[in-house]
């Protein structure tokens, strides 16, 4: 199924939403790829992102999954519409060890009121990507024009 955006300027719309998202700035969530229904972001693994044993904190992992799904959903909506997380489920596969964190999000089933999304979170160590978590999410499409 080919997924198409309702917004011809979807890349700029996503970047505008990213620019106004204070949390994504705080955790250095840098989008490196924007396609219709697809987002990729990455950041350097920093000390404040560690849990007590030095691994990527589960909260950082889930936040990156949520943002990857959310910005992927934003790439499909009309200007003036918003997306909000309705639910998210995350499975952690292994501890996060590495120098970088990569988040890949995609819309797997867009809808008029809800987009169903998935995200994968990787760490990169010595140039090798390791899948540390996978999430599924439902994003509500909110019409702010009304």
Q: What is the CATH number of the domain that holds 17?
A: 3.10.129.10
Dihedral in degrees, nearest 10, Cα atoms 112, 7, 138, 15: -160
Give residue 145's pLDDT.
Answer: 63
Q: Is residue 139 part of a domain?
A: yes
Q: Is residue 5 part of a domain?
A: no
Q: Is residue 3 part of a domain?
A: no
pLDDT tier at 2, thresholds 50, 70, 90: confident
Query: Is the whole model's pTM more than 0.75, yes or no?
Result: yes
Q: Is residue 29 part of a domain?
A: yes
Tally of domains in the chain: 1
- As a whole number, the mean pLDDT across the chain is 95
Q: Is residue 2 part of a domain?
A: no
What is the domain extent for residue 131? 10-143
Let me know if 85 is exposed, middle or buried by CB neighbors in 10 A (0-12, 13-18, 19+): middle
Q: Is residue 124 part of a domain?
A: yes
Residue pLDDT, tens place only, 29-84: 999 999 999 999 999 999 999 999 999 999 999 999 999 999 999 999 999 999 99
pLDDT tier at 144, thresholds 50, 70, 90: confident
């Amino acid at each position: 199924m080919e997924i198409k955006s309702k917004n011809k300027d979807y890349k700029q719309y996503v970047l505008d939403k990213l620019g106004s998202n204070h949390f994504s700035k705080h955790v250095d969530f840098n989008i490196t790829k924007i396609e219709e229904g697809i987002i990729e972001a990455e950041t350097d693994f920093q000390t404040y992102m560690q849990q007590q044993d030095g691994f990527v904190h589960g909260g950082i992992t889930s936040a990156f999954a949520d943002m990857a799904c959310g910005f992927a959903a934003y790439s499909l909506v009309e200007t003036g519409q918003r997306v909000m997380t309705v639910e998210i489920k995350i499975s952690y596969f292994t501890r996060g060890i590495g120098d970088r964190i990569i988040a890949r999000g995609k819309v797997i089933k867009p809808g008029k009121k809800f987009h169903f999304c998935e995200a994968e979170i990787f760490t990169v160590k010595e140039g090798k990507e390791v899948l540390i978590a996978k999430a599924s999410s439902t994003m509500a499409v909110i019409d702010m024009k009304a």
